[in-house]
């Protein structure tokens, strides 16, 4: 790892990031990455007890942490981009405001590079059957954001395929039947393994029932994922199938 990479990782971790990775974006079309060859993926993590308590539906506490973690991510990627700019490099923090400005300018929501693409290119994890990032450390109990830059950061080996295997936990638990069952691989259209409209409709019902808000926030696929459960459930309390020696699924 070169000095800039180590500096950036330490800077983001010491300000509250749970995971930081650097990905080579040069194989992607320049328009998708704003001409930047490197992506910085940043993840923050939900407290385990918050995720445990949404087993029967989303809670006001979960919504509060969702909003809080999004604010924290905006702070982290802004801080990281400012640090890179101070070193003389270009950097675009993909904050919620940057995404909104792009939408207001008439750009499609997909014009900016998805955070999950940056995260998989940076080796943080893979995309689960429910279309969420799955990490080895925290499962899907994370929120993510990213920075696009031309800084010469030491990039990781990308993750190009699913590690969910035959697991169907999220598909079976999804209240909207939005998980279609196919495994993700790099480049596959999301619509081939996940129905976003079914998810939004069901999540809105879950939010209304759980804490009275007319928003799309569910979280069941996060809570039920075996990789999440390795994080949120103490090992002594896990069923054998979720133990540390269980095969990756």
Could you give the CA distance from residue 238 to residue 85 in angstroms, rounded to a whole number?
46
| Bridge partner list, 146 | 41
Based on the residue annotation, tell me whether 108 is a catalytic residue of this protein: yes
Q: Please name which of 45, 187, 21 lies closest in space to residue 118, comparing C-alpha atoms.
A: 21
- Write out the chain in H/E/C secondary structure: CCHHHHHHHHHHHHCCCCEEEEEECCCCCHHHHCCCCEEEEEEEECCHHHHHCCCCCCCHHHHHHHHHHHHHHHHHHHHHHHHHHHCCCCEEECCHHHHHHHHHCCCCCCCCCCHHHHHHHCCCCEECCCCCEEECCCECCEEEEEEEECCCCCCCCCCCECCCCCCCHHHHHCCCCCECCCCCECCCCHHHCECHHHHHHHHHHHHHHHHCCCCCCCCHHHHHCHHHHHHHCCHHHCCHHHCCCCCCC
Could you give the CA distance from residue 197 to residue 104 in angstroms, rounded to a whole number?
22
Q: Of 49, 67, 74, 108, which is the active-site residue? A: 108
Q: Where in the sequence numbering do the catalytic residues fall?
A: 108
């Amino acid at each position: 790892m070169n000095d800039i990479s180590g500096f950036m990782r330490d800077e983001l971790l010491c300000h509250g990031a749970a995971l930081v990775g650097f990905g080579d974006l040069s194989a992607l079309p320049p328009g998708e990455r704003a001409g930047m060859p490197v992506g910085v993926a940043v993840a923050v993590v939900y407290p385990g007890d918050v995720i445990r308590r949404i087993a029967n539906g989303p809670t006001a506490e979960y919504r509060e942490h969702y909003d809080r973690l999004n604010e924290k991510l905006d702070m982290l990627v802004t801080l990281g981009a400012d640090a890179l700019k101070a070193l003389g490099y270009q950097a675009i923090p993909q904050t919620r405001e940057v995404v909104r400005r792009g939408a207001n300018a008439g750009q499609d929501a997909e014009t900016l590079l998805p955070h999950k693409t940056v995260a998989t290119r940076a080796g943080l994890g893979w995309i689960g059957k429910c279309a969420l990032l799955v990490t080895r450390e925290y499962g899907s109990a994370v929120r993510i954001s990213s920075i696009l830059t031309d800084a010469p950061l030491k990039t990781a080996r990308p993750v190009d395929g699913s590690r969910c295997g035959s697991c169907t936990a999220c598909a079976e638990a999804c209240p909207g039947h939005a998980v279609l069952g196919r495994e993700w691989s790099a480049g596959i259209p999301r619509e081939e393994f996940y129905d976003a409209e079914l998810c939004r409709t069901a999540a809105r019902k879950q939010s209304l029932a759980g804490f009275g808000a007319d928003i799309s926030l569910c979280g069941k696929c996060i809570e039920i994922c075996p990789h999440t459960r390795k994080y949120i459930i103490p090992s002594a309390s896990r069923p054998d199938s979720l133990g540390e020696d269980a095969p990756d699924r």
